């Protein structure tokens, strides 16, 4: 992210991290889950999220101190404090990532979390909700705050800051322990990481072992020389079952071979991730909405649609002439069936609508039927290229 990245009133990576540190320090079991990821209309990336946390005695003392009474050094809970204590609240929200293509960094964040609605459900009326947030050190948008109105420091800020400093060492040690435990446990986020990396590595189709993908701000010079092992094969072998299937394909070698043939016989192969979201049901599977584009070349016609070429006269058929050098864009999806026990993808289900762009290009179903009759690419919504 940019050094001066902004998220609401917060500016800079340190302030963003400070907010998360305080939120986690004064609440229990803070958990943010990604529900959906999709492109925004302005080129940004928008994530739909749910964030949950538990309100503890520590929360009441440090975040809602006005709900706590002290008498002769004994702490007493108000009616509202007792209602909130030990309750888990679940907030729906979103995070918008605004990308700076010139510097290849996130320049701006827009984080939203609705703390007001679960508070209203918990307390039952707006008046009590207003009392809870009046003088609280957290906003209805779940932002930790310390400054009020004229910018003067909140009287409890120094106390909170002193507490933070005392606990900083312990927090760091506990965080390291938590991360070590998390690495050993399959989590919902793992399948999201695998899916995102799949689309990054295969964005431009098959890449030979002598080349590797390099992400650039302007999509120029995407490929560069490398002496490393085959990144795409290594990725498939490390994140998918050895007998992973995708339609009639079985095994990572067959999946990679399909991509190799598709890229070999077409030009400008490109796969774009349009949306990524959790699949319906109780599992941890994902569904990705995709857009795949490619250009039909002479090589395509010779090896994928050989029945459209007239070898005796060395000329193309009328259908071949219509297809030659045409760039088609296909809508599709990829289903990632996640095996939580083993922490890998057990099954893929790739679907691509090649029929619709072909109908638009050729104008009628009869010609489309002739194109696919004898072709070495399947029509049933799956990119499967067969060798002769």
Alpha carbons 315 and 177: distance in angstroms, whole number: 69
Q: Which of 284, 289, 302, 295 is nearest to 344 (CA)?
A: 284
What's the pLDDT score for residue 382? 56
Q: Which domains does the chain have, with CATH numbers?
A: 6-145 (3.10.450), 188-372 (3.10.450.50)
Q: For residue 155, what pLDDT band results from cuts at 50, 70 and 90? A: very low
What's the pLDDT score for residue 292? 94
Q: What digits encode the pLDDT tens for the residues 101-120? A: 888 889 899 999 999 999 99
On the 0-12 / 13-18 / 19+ scale of CB atoms within 10 A, 62 is buried
What's the pLDDT score for residue 185? 47
Residue 324 pLDDT > 90:
yes
Show the 3-state SS of the chain: CCCCCEECCEECHHHHHHHHHHHHHCCEEEEEEEEEEEECCCCCEEEEEEEEEECCHHHHHHCCHHHEEEECCEEEECHHHHHHCCCEEEEEEEEEEEEECCCCEEEEEEEEECCHHHHHHHHCCHHHHHHHHCCCCECCCCCECCEECCCEECCCHHHHHHHHHHHHHHHHHHHHHHHHHHHCCCCHHHHHHHHHHHHHHCCCCCCCCCEEECCCCCCCCCEEECCCCCHHHHHHHHHEEEEEEECCEECHHHHHHHHHHHHHHCEEEEEEEEEEEECCCCCCCEEEEEEEEEECCHHHHHHCCHHHEECCCCEECHHHHHHCCCEEEEEEEEEEEEECCCCEEEEEEEEECCHHHHHHHHCCHHHHHHHHCCCCECCCCCCCECCC
Token reading at 197: 């990396």
What's the pLDDT score for residue 214? 57
Q: What digits encode the pLDDT tens for the residues 246-266? A: 988 999 999 999 999 899 999
pLDDT cut 90: percent of the chain above it: 47
What's the pLDDT score for residue 148? 41
Q: What digits encode the pLDDT tens for the residues 226-235? A: 445 689 999 9
């Amino acid at each position: 992210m940019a050094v001066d990245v902004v998220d609401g009133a917060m500016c800079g990576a340190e302030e963003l991290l400070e907010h998360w540190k305080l939120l986690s320090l004064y609440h229990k079991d803070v958990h943010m889950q990604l529900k959906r990821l999709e492109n925004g209309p302005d080129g940004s990336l928008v994530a739909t999220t749910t964030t949950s946390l538990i309100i503890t005695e520590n929360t009441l003392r440090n975040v809602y101190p006005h709900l706590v009474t002290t008498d002769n050094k004994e702490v007493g809970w108000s009616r509202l404090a007792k209602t909130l204590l030990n309750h888990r609240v679940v907030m729906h929200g979103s995070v918008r990532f605004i990308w700076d293509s010139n510097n290849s960094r996130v320049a701006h964040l827009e984080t939203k979390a609705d703390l007001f609605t679960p508070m209203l459900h918990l307390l039952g009326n707006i008046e009590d909700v207003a009392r809870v947030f009046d003088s609280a050190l957290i906003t209805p948008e779940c932002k930790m705050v310390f400054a009020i109105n004229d910018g003067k420091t909140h009287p409890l800020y120094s106390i909170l800051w002193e507490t933070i400093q005392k606990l900083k060492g312990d927090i760091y040690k506990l965080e390291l322990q938590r991360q070590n435990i998390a690495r050993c446990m399959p989590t919902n986020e793992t399948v999201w990481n695998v899916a995102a990396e799949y689309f990054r590595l295969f964005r431009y189709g098959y890449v030979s072992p002598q080349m590797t993908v390099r992400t650039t701000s302007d999509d120029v010079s995407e490929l560069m020389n490398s002496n490393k092992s085959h990144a795409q094969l290594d990725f498939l072998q490390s994140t998918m079952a050895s007998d992973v299937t995708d339609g009639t394909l079985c095994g990572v070698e067959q999946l990679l071979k399909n991509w190799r043939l598709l890229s070999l016989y077409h030009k400008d192969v490109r796969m774009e991730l349009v949306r990524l979201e959790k699949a319906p049901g109780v599992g941890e599977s994902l569904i990705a909405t995709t857009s795949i584009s490619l250009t039909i070349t002479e090589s395509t016609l010779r090896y994928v649609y050989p029945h459209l070429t007239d070898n005796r006269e060395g000329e193309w058929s009328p259908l071949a002439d219509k297809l030659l050098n045409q760039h088609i864009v296909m809508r599709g999806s990829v289903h990632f069936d996640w095996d939580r026990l083993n922490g890998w993808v057990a099954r893929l289900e790739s679907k691509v609508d090649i029929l619709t762009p072909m109908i638009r290009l050729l104008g009628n179903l009869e010609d489309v039927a002739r194109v696919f009759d004898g072709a070495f690419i399947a029509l049933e919504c799956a990119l499967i290229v067969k060798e002769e």
